[in-house]
Amino acid sequence: MSRQLLVTGGAGFIGSNFVHHWCQNYPHDRVVVLDALTYAGNIANLAGLEKQENFRFVQGNICDRSLVDKLLQTENIDTIAHFAAESHVDRSILGPGAFVETNVVGTYTLLEAFRQHWQANSQPTNYRFLHVSTDEVYGSLNPDDPPFSETTPYAPNSPYSASKAGSDHLVRAYYHTYGLPTIITNCSNNYGPYQFPEKLIPLMCINTLMGKELPVYGDGKNVRDWLYVGDHCSALDVVIHRGIPGETYNIGGNNEVENINLVQMLCQLMDELAPNLPVRPAANLITFVKDRLGHDRRYAIDATKIKTQLGWIPSVTVTEGLRLTVAWYLTHENWWKPLLSEEYQAYYNKVYA
User: Could you tell me the residue ranges of all domains in the chain?
Assistant: 2-194+226-252+293-314
Planar angle of CA 151, 153, 159, nearest 5 degrees: 130
Give catalytic residues, as residue numbers: 135-136, 160
Give the CATH H-level superfamily of domain 2-194+226-252+293-314.
Answer: NAD(P)-binding Rossmann-like Domain (3.40.50.720)
Neighbouring residues of 148: CB distance < 8 A, sequence distance ≥ 6: 135, 138, 141, 186, 250, 299, 300, 301, 302
CB of 137 within 8 A of CB of 87?
A: no
Reported in sequence order, the residue ranges of the chain that DSSP labels E, i.e. its strands, are: 4-8, 30-35, 55-59, 79-82, 128-134, 182-187, 189-191, 214-217, 223-228, 248-251, 256-258, 286-289
CB of 340 within 8 A of CB of 198?
A: no
Q: What is the pLDDT along the chain (353 residues), one digit of tens a residue?
A: 899 999 999 999 999 999 999 999 999 999 999 999 998 899 999 999 999 999 999 999 999 999 999 999 999 999 999 999 998 888 999 999 999 999 999 999 999 999 999 999 999 999 999 999 999 999 999 999 999 999 999 999 999 999 999 999 999 999 999 999 999 999 999 999 999 999 999 999 999 999 999 999 999 999 999 999 999 999 999 999 999 999 999 999 999 999 999 999 999 999 999 989 999 999 999 999 999 888 999 999 999 999 999 999 999 999 999 999 999 999 999 999 999 999 999 999 988 87
Per-residue model confidence as pLDDT tens digits over 266-299: 999 999 999 899 999 999 999 999 998 889 999 9
pLDDT at residue 64, rounded to an integer: 98
pLDDT at residue 353, rounded to an integer: 74
Per-residue model confidence as pLDDT tens digits over 130-176: 999 999 999 999 999 999 999 999 999 999 999 999 999 999 999 99
